Every structure is written in structure tokens, then in C-alpha cells.
Copies of this chain bind each other. A is one copy, B any other.
Amino acid sequence: MDGLEGSPVGVQVPLYQAKAEFFRMLGHPVRIRVLELLADGPTPVRQLLAAIEVEPSNLSQQLAVLRRSGIVTATRDGSTVVYALAGGDVAELMRAARRILTEMLTGREELLAELREAEASSALPQ
């Protein structure tokens, strides 16, 4: 876990490792849903909890991961805590991901259609 935040300022982490940590931090269904909800504006935990089927303590852990990575901020307002995206076009990233994902799944269906039609043998790995 913990990726980005662990690095003291000035200690250089190779960029490809920072990227890997960034993507790993995105790699959890609850965290994805939180980011998508936050894309529509700052949201109190209570509301996230209502929208996502998950135990409060589990949500808190996932929020902690997002917070530590720096992609979201938390501010306390009375007894509720409000989360918001720290900046950046997270929505754009999600769009890019969706495009690739769609393409990948489409490619897959085409491949399967081909395979269904001609039960031929070929010489490719796997």
C-alpha cells in the first residue's frame, strides 16, 4: 500500500514506479466508485456510505488509501467529514481507461466470434 506518501520530499522514485503505485492505488472497486462519486463534487462520508455497499470501517480504510496517495482531500465540517478530489482531471483518466477497456472487450468478442466460426489450429502462444 502506501506508495507515494512514503517518499520523503526530495527522494527520487523512478517515474515508472510512481506510475505503478498510482495505478495500484486505483485498483480497487470501492476506491474507483469513491473517485467517480467525488468527480461530481465534494461529498460527505455519510453519502459515500449510502451510495456504496460497504462497511463503514472498510470505506474508511479505502478513503485512507486515497488520502495517503494525495488524490483526495478530507475536511471536517462539524461532525461530518467531506471528501473532495485534490485537483486534476480524474474524470479524463477514467474516460481514457473506459476507451481502452471497451476496445479490449470488443477485440475479445471479435476474437471469440472468429474462434467459434473456424475451429482451426494455429501456432501462437496460448
Contacts and interface: CB of A to CB of B under 8 A. Distances in A.
Interface in A5-45: 9, 14-29, 31-33, 36
A93 B94 contact: no
Q: How often does this chain occur in the complex, in copies?
A: 2
A23 B97 contact: yes
Interface residues of A, number: 55
A58 B100 CA distance: 26
Contacts of A92: 96, 99
27 contacts: A4-B104, A4-B105, A9-B109, A14-B29, A15-B98, A16-B29, A16-B36, A19-B26, A19-B101, A20-B29, A23-B23, A25-B27, A67-B125, A69-B104, A70-B108, A76-B125, A81-B125, A87-B103, A87-B104, A88-B99, A88-B104, A89-B100, A92-B96, A92-B99, A93-B93, A93-B97, A96-B96
